[in-house]
Amino acid sequence: MDFIWGAATSAYQIEGAAFEDGRTASIWDTFARDVVGETGDVACDHYHRMPSDVQLIKSLGVNAYRFSVSWTRVQPGGRGPANVKGLDFYDRLVDELLANGIDPWLTLYHWDLPQELEDAGGWPVRDTAYRFADLSSLVIDRLADRVQNFSTVNEPWCVAYLGYEHGVFAPGRRDFKAALDSTHHLLLAHGLAAAQLRERGRTVSIPLNIGTATPASDDPLDVAAAWRADGNVARIFLDPLRHGRYPADVVEDLAGRGYTLPVQDGDMEIIATPIDLLGVNFYFGQDFAGRDLDGNTLDASGRPVVREIKPDVPQTDLGWPITPDRFTTLLLRLHHDYGWPLVVTENGAVFPDQPDADDFVEDTERVAYLSAHIDAVGAARAQGADVRGYFAWSLMDNFEWAEGYAKRFGLVRVDYQTQLRTPKRSALWFRDRITSAP
């Protein structure tokens, strides 16, 4: 089986044991407690159930498992030496996976910044990138002898914009400049880790959340609006990674808003450290129009209108439009415009699961979603895109960030009272799909 088939999770969403064996608070512990009202204190209790969870992963028939390390488990407080007990956990996880024929795909940062580093300024502060480089070296020193595939920073757009501009994710700030500064420092952090990984001969990827920005019509105004939206979410990350420069139109737009990215000498070379794979986290595509609902083309501040329109198609239970055809378009676009080999590092959906008396969920809608998106990957490959793998989000139901536990993405159902895991129809379907893969 050449193609990589996997399931994905992240540390804070599943581990629990939030304050055990030396782990300290991250920004998500704080935000979950203060804003969400549900926390990852216990989550799926994976920290205590890891060996049986590895058997669960194995039962899916996958050959890879994507997980992240908890920064504050490995390096409490975000500075100083490694917490041996914390690293021991990932050491055991990696060994357990390898012993079961599952390739570990390790993500170094999946959103859980140490609270102390946020208190010192967080991602808007340049030093945070160097702190991340230190964390990376601790993890690499301990695990790179057995882990080949590393991802650096998961979805930097969400970290920067949802966390620092929109305030809907940790740390919950609402400051556009902070988001912009974070963007650059997250890319720098990625580059610093990527350089270390290359030196060790490891495979480097960065998972970006890139929807598609489709013009609502052929009207040049809509086309321009979609291009602007694409610049702010996709090209602002893709271009520096590939070409070592921010897109000129984005820089110009930002200048119009009075902002300049905090680039220092040598940063862009670090950011453009070659990667081996681009990770693609895809959930849905969007349309954009260049007029507001009253037909205006400029907003109150005199800037061109970029109006987001949800495609008129069926939606998931998070209100996300189901757009598999755009997934094919995206993969082909990334292939043609950027040329990296691609791996789908996340794809999945929430539906209102109804467990039966045995806790089994007949999630036909999730099966349909996964099936359509896996077919979309197949269509992109048939047209030349070099897509090497597909990770379903997620292995099991877990703490879905600002949504808490109400929204379930798992292939496996988790009863949070008993921690019972029950594979849903989608898990059984996924296993069969992998077995019958061409």
Q: How far is the CB of 350 from ligand FCB (least distance, A)?
A: 8
Element of type H or E holding 180: helix 176-199
Is 403 catalytic? The answer is: no
Catalytic residue among 15, 96, 346, 365: 346
Asked if 22 contacts 85 with a C-beta cutoff of 8 angstroms, the reply is yes
The 10 Å Cβ neighbour count of residue 166 is 15
Of residues 325-384, those binding ligand FCB (CB under 6 A): 346
- HSE value, Cβ hemisphere, 13 Å, CA-based, for 243: 11
- Tell me if 70 contacts ligand FCB by CB under 6 A: no
Q: Which is nearer to ligand FCB, 47 or 393 (CB)?
A: 393
- Between CA 14 and CA 11 the distance in angstroms is 6
Considering the complex, state which of residue 179 and residue 216 has its C-beta at the smaller distance from ligand FCB. Answer: 179
- Minimal distance, residue 151 CB to ligand FCB, in Å: 11
Contact 74, 135 (CB under 8 A): yes
- Among 24-32, 37-45, 154-162, 249-257, which window interacts with ligand FCB (CB under 6 A)? 154-162
Contact 172, 183 (CB under 8 A): no
Measured from the CB atom, the residue of 118 and 400 that comes closer to ligand FCB is: 400
CA distance 54 to 92: 11
Would you say 227 or 320 has its CB closer to ligand FCB?
320
Which C-beta is closer to ligand FCB: that of 196 or that of 209?
209
Quick check: 209 binds ligand FCB (CB under 6 A)? Answer: yes
- Interface with ligand FCB includes 161 (CB under 6 A)? no
Span of 188-196, 245-253, 361-369, 393-401 interacting with ligand FCB by CB under 6 A: 393-401
- 401 lies in the site for ligand FCB, by CB under 6 A: yes
15 part of the interface to ligand FCB, by CB under 6 A: no
| Whether the Cβ atoms of residue 261 and residue 250 lie closer than 8 Å to each other | no
DSSP 352-418: ---B-TTS-B--HHHHHHHHHHHHHHHHHHHTT--EEEEEEE-SB----GGGTTSS---SEEEETTT
Q: Roughly what angle, to the nearest 10 degrees, separates helices 176-199 and 127-143? A: 30
What tokens appear for 162 in the block? 């949802």
Q: Diameter of the chain by CA atoms?
A: 62
| Residue whose structure tokens are 């400049």 | 177
The single residue listed with the structure tokens 């993969």 is 331
Pairing between β-strand 277-281 and β-strand 203-209 as defined by DSSP bridges: parallel
Alpha-carbon span 320 to 287, nearest angstrom: 13
E strand segments, 159-247? 203-209, 213-215
Q: How far is the CB of 316 from ligand FCB (least distance, A)?
A: 10
Nearer to ligand FCB, 158 or 372 (CB): 158
Question: Least distance in Å: CB of 303 to ligand FCB?
Answer: 27
282 contributes a contact to ligand FCB by CB under 6 A: no
- Please check whether residue 41 is in contact with residue 428, taking contact to mean a CB–CB distance below 8 angstroms: no
Size of the site for ligand FCB (CB under 6 A): 12
Q: Residue 89 CB, nearest distance to ligand FCB (Å)?
A: 19
Active site annotation includes 362: no
Which positions from 76 through 135 interact with ligand FCB, judged by CB under 6 A?
Answer: none
Q: How far is CA 206 from CA 91, 183, 278, 321, 437, in A?
A: 22, 14, 6, 25, 26
Site string for ligand FCB, 256-275 (x = CB under 6 A): --------------------
Q: What is the dihedral of CA 328, 330, 331, 335, to 10 degrees?
A: 130
CA 222 to CA 106: how far, in whole Å?
A: 39
Q: Name the segment binding ligand FCB (CB under 6 A); options: 97-105, 118-126, 150-158, 429-437.
A: 150-158
Indicate whether 154 belongs to the interface with ligand FCB (CB under 6 A).
yes
Give the residue, chosen from 10, 107, 182, 422, that forms a contact with ligand FCB under the rule CB under 6 A: 10
Q: Tell me if 393 contacts ligand FCB by CB under 6 A.
A: yes
User: Can residue 426 be called a binding residue for ligand FCB (CB under 6 A)?
Assistant: no
Name the residue nearer to ligand FCB (CB basis): 68 or 328: 68
Rounded Cα distance between 159 and 250, Å, is: 19
Q: Can you tell me which of 155, 181, 239, 365 binds ligand FCB, judged by CB under 6 A?
A: 155
Catalytic choice (118, 155, 165, 400): 155
Query: Using the rule CB under 6 A, is 68 a contact of ligand FCB?
Result: no
205 binds ligand FCB (CB under 6 A): no
The residues annotated as belonging to the active site are 155, 346
Which spans of this chain sit near ligand FCB (rule: CB under 6 A)? 10, 13, 154-155, 158, 209, 281, 346, 393, 400-401, 409
